[in-house]
Structures are given as structure tokens and as C-alpha cells.
Amino acid sequence: MKAKYIFLVLVLLGLVSCKKDLLNTSPLNAVSDAALWSDVNLVENFVNEKYQILPHFYFYTSLPSHMGYSAASDECFSKFNYENVNRINTGAMTPDNMALDSWTVDYKYIRELNVFFSKITAVPGDDAKKNRLTGEATFLRAYCYFDLTAKYGGIPLIAKVYNATDKDFTEKRSTFEEAVKFVVAELDKAAAILPAAYTGTDVGRATKGAALALKSRMLLYAASPLWNVNNDASKWDAAAKAAKAVIDLNQYSLYQDADYHKLFITTDNSEAIISYHQNAQQYQSYSDIHLSPNGYHGWSAYTPTQHIVDQFEMKTGKLISEAGSGYDQQNPYVNRDPRFYANIIYNGGQFRDRPAEFFTGGKDSPQSPIENWNASLSGYNWKKYNDESYDLNTQAVGSKTAFIILRLSEVYLNYAEALNALGNDGEAQIWLNKIRQRQGVNMPPVSAAGTDLRDKIRHEREVELCLEGHRFFDVRRWKIAEVTDNKPAMGVKITKNTDGSFTYDYTLKVQDRKFFAPQHYLFPIPKYELDKVKLDQNPGYN
């Protein structure tokens, strides 16, 4: 079936089933409140605009991006410190100096969606459309609460509409468990309303599968060591059942193509559950120019670290550090997991119309004769989400590449992790190996058990989901960030020898990152919020 794309539908554009004559003469932001809530088509556009809360490629005025979360983990480096991610990497994030902060924006959308819930029943019009919009709004508000809960823990759960006549804000922070229960209940409610799929111009809206997949992620977080201190099996069982519910929809299938890279640049594939589709005229993502090397006039704004490069196994299934792997430090990019070639631009690797040149003095190095201010400092660039057919020289900067928010591969990994935690290793192996043995990957199956299998599943998430924003949250929920995030970000220095061979030096430090402390497992509540309302701060930030 067709992938699900979030088509950016600005209120001013009214692209989906709107009353065009009205919108052509009076922009919605000039329409009175009474007019808005008296026309279900205008209400539809109100809901369409709220899809902007979902994660997408970074642009200067957008929400925190998957690239930002990646750069605040051990898999990526942000050269220009977009979204202030280096405050996290250097331990400098405080309530006064936030990074990747979405507190205000999440609650802005929650407030607006609460208005929707207070008004929708009285709106005249097609009941089926009103019901569908209620399902979409329920999903979108649940996503806001999921985002807040994942970063801050317990948060105020606000379902009423505050207005100018309210004198006191009395909401208190929930517990983490209360927040999870609320998010799950809302997603169950949305799943019961939303259709399994759409056709025509409605393709891209939230579906039953989107609601159930987000529920799977929420319950996996709740079952993980950060929050499941006593390893309560019932929490893992709930996570396993939530993931299986998505699979049992039989609505999605792993993307099968000889070129795995196409999964992330093909805007119609069977694996995507819900995606954020870029509209270059209104919401330019700049993804291609952010990710491309300087020799192609890219900015190298986000670049892979040596750590993530080293995580791609040899084609034999062995890690490069394992005995008998066949890995050669001076010929490092031969016979690797096919996902390495799909995700990483490396020295000598074909990209666009030529091999990449990261060696000192090469076209894509800091000494490039083409451009040098925007060179990768790690000796690598991201190929993932990079559309080589997109001409950075002649086309508009804004990319139309869709960002996949939820996909089936994640759900399989969620299921495998929960099954392993429950001791069902045989079944966990099946779902893990479905990913490894898909067409275009074809890696050897995993047969480990127990904690060894747990580590294999965690490793698979790191490789399969790289640059998708998962690693930042995974190392926190597993409570291993004090190890993973207290290591410097490393790169490679490459010298081209007179005979045309290369010498690789892996001692290049790109950024020191020995600053992760126990309080950093959660974000601080922003001071600007504490200045307005009385809320308990997260531990370690007072």
C-alpha cells in the first residue's frame, strides 16, 4: 500500500477539501472565531496545520529535528551547532540555556487542540469528517504529550482550555506513569476512530497504524531500564503486545529493493507508517544541502562520527573488532554491511558524479579547492536521506525528501526487544532477522540468546535507525548514556600517498564529550516556564 505522507497544508493554502472561494478572499488567520467553528472545512484546515508538530528535517524556525537528536548522540556531529545541540554534548544545558527544547511549542499545539476538542461537537457539517478529524487531533495531541514525556518525564496533563478569565494555573506535574497511561489511552482512542488507510488527497493523514505504532514506542520507553527499575515483566508484555498489534494490521511490509538507500528517498513505499512530506515552497528542509559534502556545494552541517561508521558490520556479520572479521584499518570500507554504503559517504565512495575525496587536499576536505568553509570535520558525510538526483546548483534549496516518522522496521525492533526481555529469544530472533535479511541488506542471521541477543538488538537499532533521532533516546532509556555519551566524537584523517593509496589515521578528535552526568537522562524544565508557574524541577538542575 502507499506510504503515508504528511502533506504540509498551510491554513492559507487550504489544500485539502476547503471552501476555496472563501479562502481565496479571506485568509484563515483573518476569519473570525465564530466563522471558523461554523464550517467543518475550515476546521479541517485548522487540524491540517497542526501536523507541523510532528518531527521533520531541521529548518531554522522548525521544531527540534531528528538531525538535532542525532547530533546530540554518539552517531553524529553538528558543525554549526544548530538547535544548540552542543550545549548537550558539552554538559552546558541548564534551565536557562536549553537545547532541542520543545516545551513551549508542544504546549502551544496542545492548547490549540484543546480548543478543537471543546468546539468540534457543535460544528455543523459531515459527522464522518468530524469524527475523522477528532481522531487526527487526538493522535496529534498524544504526540505532543509523548514528546514531552520522553524528554521531561512527568509533565502537566492539560485537557481544559484556559482563557483570559482564568486567574490561577493550578496544573501540577504528573508522574511518568500517569503520563504514559494518558498517552496510551489517547492513542487507543485515536486508533479506534482512525481508518487503516486513505486514498487520494487524504493520503498522509494519521491512521490507525500511526496511532498504534506511537503507542508501541511509548510503551517500549516505559518498559526500559530508565523507568522500569525493577524490570517488571508486565511492562515488557504490554510493549510486546503493542508492537504486535501494528504487525497484525497487515497494512505494511518491509521495503524490498536491491538498493536499500531508496527506502529513504522513495516517497511511496510499503514500510512507512507515517511520514512528514516536505513542501519546498513553504517548508524548506534543506536536508540535501545540510548533508552533502562541500565539494558538491553542500554544508556538511551534520556528519557521521567514526563511532557510527565502526558499527556497520563486515558482510560476514562480524563487527570490525571481532577476531576473524577480515577488517583492515588501511582498507576500511571493503566488504561492509550494505547499509554502510547506503548511509555513509566515505573516501572513494561514489556520490553523485564522482568518488568522494575526503583525503587532505581532496575536493571534499577542509583544504578543498572548490569550497572549504563547509567541509566535514569527521571525514564522512551522510548519504541517508540524500537524494543524488537533486541538483544543488540549479534547483531550489528546499528538499522534497520525506522524513519517515514511524516505520515497520522500528516496530519489528520494538517487538524483538520486548520479546527478548520476556525470555522469548527464538521469536525475537525471527523479527530481528527479518530486517537483516531483507532484499538489499541480506546480512547473516543472528542466533544469539539472552543478554547477547539483547546487545545484538540494540546494535541493530543503532545501525538500522541511524540519523532518525532514535539513538539519543535509546541510550537514555537503556540508561547507558553515561558510557556512550562520555566519549569524544572522533573522525578520520586521510592522506593520499604518491602511489595513489591512502593512509588512515583514526586519532582525529572532532569534539570532546566527557560531560554526561546522571541528571542529563532528563531535560530540565525550562526556567522561562518555572518563572510563570510553580512546577517541580527535575533532579540535578536546581
Task: Say if CB 68 and CB 82 are below 8 A apart.
Answer: yes
Q: Is pLDDT above 60 for 16?
A: no
The mean per-residue pLDDT over the stretch 451-465 comes to 98
In tens, the pLDDT along 368-377 reads 999 999 999 9
Q: How many residues does the chain have?
A: 542
Strands 76-78 and 354-355: unpaired
CATH class, 5-63+102-278 region: mainly alpha
If phi > 0 it is left, if psi is from -120 to 50 it is alpha, else beta; for residue 374 that is alpha
Q: Is pLDDT above 90 for 501?
A: yes
The mean per-residue pLDDT over the stretch 237-242 comes to 98
Give the C-alpha separation, 251 to 270, whole Å.
Answer: 8
Give the C-alpha separation, 347 to 185, whole Å.
Answer: 49
The mean per-residue pLDDT over the stretch 191-198 comes to 96
What band does 59 get if pLDDT is binned at 50, 70 and 90?
Answer: low
Report the candidate in 504, 76, 513, 72 with the shortest Cα–Cα distance to residue 320: 504
| Neighbouring C-beta atoms of residue 127, cutoff 10 Å | 10
Percent of the chain's residues with pLDDT above 70? 90
Q: Report, in angstroms and rounded to the nearest whole number, the Rg of the chain calculated over CA atoms.
A: 23
318 CB burial (10 A radius; 0-12, 13-18, 19+): middle
| Neighbouring C-beta atoms of residue 300, cutoff 10 Å | 29
Task: Say if CB 378 and CB 305 are below 8 A apart.
Answer: yes
What band does 203 get if pLDDT is binned at 50, 70 and 90?
Answer: confident
What rounded mean pLDDT belongs to the chain?
90
Q: Which helix (H) or strand (E) holds 496?
A: strand 489-496
The mean per-residue pLDDT over the stretch 13-30 comes to 39
Q: What separation in angstroms does the CA of 133 have from each of 142, 202, 513?
A: 14, 11, 45
The alpha-helical segments, DSSP class H, found in 358-480 are 408-421, 425-436, 450-464, 470-477
pLDDT value at position 356?
98
In tens, the pLDDT along 396-440 reads 556 677 889 999 999 999 999 999 999 999 999 999 999 999 999
Give the C-alpha separation, 267 to 169, whole Å.
Answer: 44
Q: Is pLDDT above 80 for 29?
A: no
Give the DSSP letter string of 81-115: -GGGTHHHHTT--BTTB-SS--HHHHHHHHHHHHH
pLDDT value at position 57?
79
Q: Return residue ranges of the chain for CATH 1.25.40.390.
A: 5-63+102-278
CA dihedral 406, 410, 416, 421 (to 10 degrees): -70
In tens, the pLDDT along 86-102 reads 999 999 999 999 999 99
Give the C-alpha separation, 449 to 174, whole Å.
Answer: 37
The mean per-residue pLDDT over the stretch 471-488 comes to 98
Buried b / exposed e along 31-59 (16+ C-beta atoms within 10 A): beeeebbbbbbbbbbbbbbbbbbbbbbbb
In tens, the pLDDT along 109-136 reads 999 999 999 999 999 999 999 999 999 9
Give the C-alpha separation, 447 to 535, whole Å.
Answer: 48
Q: Is pLDDT above 90 for 475?
A: yes
Q: Give the number of C-alpha atoms closer than 13 A to the C-alpha of residue 489, restricted to the C-beta side.
A: 26
Q: Is pLDDT above 60 for 1?
A: no
**Which residues touch 269 (CB under 8 Å, ≥6 apart)?**
3, 255, 262, 263
- Hey, what's the cell of 432? 530481528
pLDDT value at position 38?
94
pLDDT value at position 79?
95
Residue 84 has phi, psi (to 5 degrees) of: 55, 35
What band does 23 get if pLDDT is binned at 50, 70 and 90?
Answer: very low
- Hey, what's the cell of 1? 500500500
Q: Please state the pTM of the whole predicted model.
A: 0.93
Task: Say if CB 62 and CB 56 are below 8 A apart.
Answer: yes
Give the C-alpha separation, 147 to 143, whole Å.
Answer: 6
Quote the Cα angle for 46-67-359, to 5°.
150
pLDDT value at position 8?
41
Report the candidate in 457, 414, 52 with the shortest Cα–Cα distance to residue 215: 414
What band does 204 get if pLDDT is binned at 50, 70 and 90?
Answer: confident
Task: Taking the CA atoms of 85, 89, 92 and 93 in sequence, report the sign of the dihedral they define.
Answer: positive
pLDDT value at position 4?
43
Q: Is pLDDT above 80 for 267?
A: no
Q: Look up residue 295 and give its DSSP letter.
A: G
Helix axis angle for 103-119 and 40-49, nearest 10°, is: 160
In tens, the pLDDT along 524-542 reads 999 999 998 889 999 999 8
Quote the Cα angle for 185-191-197, to 5°.
165
Percent of the chain's residues with pLDDT above 90? 80
